Amino acid sequence: MKKFLSISTIALFGVIVTAFTANYDTNNTMEVIEVSKVPSVVIQTLESKAINSEDIISSENPTLLVFWATCCAPCKKELLTISKVYEDWKKETGVNIVAISVDLPQYANGVAPFVNKYNWDFDVYLDVKRNLMHKMNAYSTPHSFLINKTGEIVWEKQGFVYGDEKAIIEKIKELK
């Protein structure tokens, strides 16, 4: 029985690793295959007001949409790093940054205090049921999507390490 459990555990681990790495290259990026635009899903503002996900995408400038959670260390690194350069990015490219928290309902009330603590100057929304996240085929955080001004998803990235912000701004500049 122990041997069976060990083999099952190893097999399951292999499946999980394969699932999370199959479509990724060494730059931690992934080509968009199925979703070409942001789907229409109702999410919430930090004030618990319903808003359609299509309405948060800029029609005049590129939008960087980031799925994140307050318990996710790489998410916090990414958004804290971006918040430090956001004003410069906005002046240079007009980029619209949208952070969508996927914190579970019991933790969602901690999102606004977190955002206020760090004075984020970009829009933050809640997707507590993770409907938008799943419709965009994002299953872990942080997961970032770059959307052009016509609403098409042109690039996506999973994960974050310091220095990734340089690649992100270069991708944004390519859209200008």
Domains and CATH numbers, the chain: 26-174 (3.40.30.10)
Task: Name which residue leads in pLDDT, 71 or 20.
Answer: 71
**Model confidence at 17, in pLDDT bands (50, 70, 90)?**
very low
Query: Which residue shows structure tokens 């299509």?
Result: 54
Instruction: Using the predicted structure, report yes or no on whether residue 117 has a pLDDT greater than 60.
Output: yes
**Model confidence at 3, in pLDDT bands (50, 70, 90)?**
low
pLDDT number for residue 176: 76
Q: State the greatest distance between any 2 C-alpha atoms of the chain, in Å, as a whole number.
A: 63
Q: How many percent of the chain have pLDDT more than 90?
A: 79
Instruction: Using the predicted structure, report yes or no on whether residue 164 has a pLDDT greater than 50.
Output: yes
Task: Name which residue leads in pLDDT, 13 or 128.
Answer: 128
Average pLDDT, the chain: 86
DSSP annotation of 67 reads: E
Question: Could you tell me the pTM of the whole model?
Answer: 0.80
pLDDT number for residue 135: 96
CA 172 – CA 166 distance, rounded (Å): 10
CA 169 – CA 1 distance, rounded (Å): 53
For the segment 19-39, what is each residue's pLDDT rounded down to a tens digit? 333 333 334 444 434 569 999
Instruction: Using the predicted structure, report yes or no on whether residue 101 has a pLDDT greater than 60.
Output: yes
CA 95 – CA 132 distance, rounded (Å): 21
CA 80 – CA 77 distance, rounded (Å): 5
pLDDT number for residue 7: 53
**Model confidence at 137, in pLDDT bands (50, 70, 90)?**
very high
Tokens of 92: 């240079």
**Model confidence at 77, in pLDDT bands (50, 70, 90)?**
very high
